[in-house]
Amino acid sequence: MPFTALSLDHLVLTVADVERSSAFYVRVLGMRRTVFGPDGCRVALGFGRQKINLHPHGGEFSPHARHPEPGSADLCFLVRGPLKAAMAHVRDCGVEIVDGPVPRTGAGGPLLSFYIRDPDGNLVELAVPRD
């Protein structure tokens, strides 16, 4: 094998409303909203050393997935701090918890997770590593 994947740099979410989605991820998950591109029309959400690019449904930037649709993603984010505090914050933001806390297995081992949905209905798992 001449190369191996190193890490995930970014992913793309197709969303119904870029402003509504970016506001949700900033308010609820503490991400950083950035604008980029030659004409400043692209929006990304930064967290750690990764980002999520937001593409407006029907106005996706090429190249893109074969069938981009809002609400078709399942995402898992590792969070820092006690899971109960994260759950309380999410509730204080008016976001319903779909499930959890529940034990799960992540890329690095066991997790304790809970689930919410973003404005497009994407399933968002928030997790802390457990011993």
Q: How far apart are CA 54 and CA 32, in angstroms?
A: 13
Going from the N-terminus, what domains does the chain have, and what CATH number goes with each? 10-129 (3.10.180.10)
Q: Could you tell me the pTM of the whole model?
A: 0.94
* Mean pLDDT, range 38-62, rounded to an integer: 94
Q: How far apart are CA 34 and CA 46, in angstroms?
A: 7
Catalytic residue ranges: 125
Classify 84 as helix, strand or coil: helix
* Mean pLDDT, range 105-123, rounded to an integer: 98
Estimate the share of the chain in helix, then strand, then coil, as percent rounded to the nearest 5.
15, 40, 45
Looking at residue 59, its pLDDT comes to: 93
Partners of residue 51 on adjacent β-strands: 10, 46
Q: How far apart are CA 48 and CA 94, in angstroms?
A: 25
Looking at residue 60, its pLDDT comes to: 92
Looking at residue 23, its pLDDT comes to: 98
Q: What are phi and psi of 71, to 5 degrees?
A: 80, 15
Q: How confident is the model at residue 58 (pLDDT cuts 50, 70, 90)?
A: very high
* Mean pLDDT, range 82-86, rounded to an integer: 96
Q: How confident is the model at residue 74 (pLDDT cuts 50, 70, 90)?
A: very high
Q: What is the pLDDT of residues 4-35, one digit of tens each?
A: 999 999 999 999 999 999 999 999 999 999 99
Q: Is the pLDDT of residue 131 over 80?
A: no
Q: How confident is the model at residue 41 (pLDDT cuts 50, 70, 90)?
A: confident
Q: Is the pLDDT of residue 57 over 80?
A: yes
